[in-house]
Amino acid sequence: MSNNEQHHNTVVFEHNFCESRLQDNKGPEYFNAVTSLFITFIPLVLGIPNNSHFKKVSILLILNGFFSFYYHFTLTWLGKHLDEVTMFLANFHYVVGLLELYERTKLIQYIEIMNTSTIPLIIAFNTVPELDQYFPYVFAFYCSPTIIIILDYSVNTQSLRSTMINLSITATGAVCWLISENVCNEITTYGHILWHLCFPLGIYRILLDFDKTFRNAIEIVVDDKFEEETK
Q: Is the pTM of this model over 0.75?
A: yes
**Class at the top of the CATH hierarchy for domain 2-230:** mainly alpha
Q: pLDDT for 132-143, tens place per residue?
A: 888 988 999 999
How far from chain centre, in Å, is Cα 85? 10
Determine the average pLDDT of the residues in 35-54: 96
Rounded distance between C-alpha atoms, residue 147 and residue 178, angstroms: 18
Rounded distance between C-alpha atoms, residue 63 and residue 217, angstroms: 31
10 pLDDT exceeds 90?
Answer: no
* Percent over 90 (pLDDT), the chain: 76
* Res. 46 pLDDT band, cuts 50 70 90: very high
Rounded distance between C-alpha atoms, residue 174 and residue 126, angstroms: 19
* Percent over 70 (pLDDT), the chain: 87
Q: pLDDT for 53-68, tens place per residue?
A: 999 999 999 999 999 9
Q: Across all residues in the chain, what is the average pLDDT?
A: 89
| pLDDT at residue 215 in the model | 75
Domain spans of the chain? 2-230
